Each structure stands twice: as C-alpha cells, then as structure tokens.
C-alpha cells in the first residue's frame, strides 16, 4: 500500500511497505479513500506468517524489487516472459492470482533459478530469496 500521506494515518513505510502491526491503520486509510472499491490490501510475509483473520490466501511469490528506475518481478520477468525454458515452464503452474499455489512449486522454481545462476545464466542474484506468502484482506 502506498498512501499519498501515510503520516496522516500514523503509517510508517519501510521500502514502501507497512508492517503487519500497522494493519488497523492501513484498514482505516483504505476506508477513508473515495474509491476504496479499487484498492485491495495485501499482506506479504515469510512462510512462518500466522493465519490472518478475514484474509484470503492468494499464493506464494518468489521476490520482487522496486527501484528508482523501475520494478522487477521474478514471476513476470523470468517465469512468464523469461529467456530460460527451465523457468518459463513454471508459468503453467501459476494460479488465478499469478502466484504459485503451493510452496513446493515456489521452492522448485527458486532451486532451478539458483542452479542456472551457478551455471552463469544472466539472472539477477539476490541473497536469501525464499517463497513469500501473499494474503488479500
């Protein structure tokens, strides 16, 4: 969530994201905007993420980066549009949210991705990448 004036709602963003401890402030912000029907709140986190009240599990992501000059999504740029068939084959396993429906698929994707990087493939290398749970509130 990227509110235009997050400080007015007491929301502190780190790398563009609010912590789960601020969920009520985020919900309050969403209720205050005029076109709230166009805004979804998502909770992302590591696999140890506890179940959330009134949250729908959407699937597993494997990483994204938002930088000054653009954004990068491993699922978009490597799984769906990538140059390596070993990674593109996972495109058919994505669910209706364009996420992996099972953690094992996300882990398998990352294992093959890491193998390709070790073999010299032209892929971005990031430390500590792991499957990320995604929930819609």
CA angle 119, 120, 121 (to 5 degrees): 100
Alpha-carbon span 52 to 135, nearest angstrom: 8
**pLDDT for the residue numbered 3:** 53
Residues linked to residue 66 through DSSP beta bridges, in sequence order? 71
Residue 135 makes CB contacts below 8 A (sequence gap 6+) with 42, 43, 44, 49, 52, 55, 56, 57, 58
- Give the global pTM: 0.74
pLDDT digits (tens, 9 = 90+) for 84-137: 999 999 999 999 999 999 999 999 999 999 999 999 999 887 776 788 888 887
pLDDT digits (tens, 9 = 90+) for 64-93: 766 666 667 889 889 999 999 999 999 999
* Top-confidence residue, 95 or 8: 95
Confidence of residue 22 (pLDDT cuts 50, 70, 90): confident
């Amino acid at each position: 969530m990227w509110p235009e004036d997050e400080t007015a709602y007491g929301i502190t963003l780190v790398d563009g994201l609010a912590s789960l401890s601020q969920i009520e402030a985020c919900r309050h912000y969403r209720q205050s905007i005029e076109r709230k029907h166009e805004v979804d709140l998502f909770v992302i986190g590591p696999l140890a993420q506890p179940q959330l009240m009134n949250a729908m599990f959407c699937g597993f992501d494997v990483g994204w980066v938002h930088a000054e000059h653009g954004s990068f999504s491993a699922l978009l740029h490597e799984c769906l549009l990538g140059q390596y068939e070993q990674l593109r084959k996972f495109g058919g396993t994505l669910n209706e949210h364009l996420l992996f429906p099972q953690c094992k698929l996300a882990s398998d994707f990352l294992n093959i991705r890491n193998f390709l990087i070790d073999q010299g493939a032209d892929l971005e290398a990031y430390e500590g990448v792991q499957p990320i749970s995604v929930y819609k509130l």
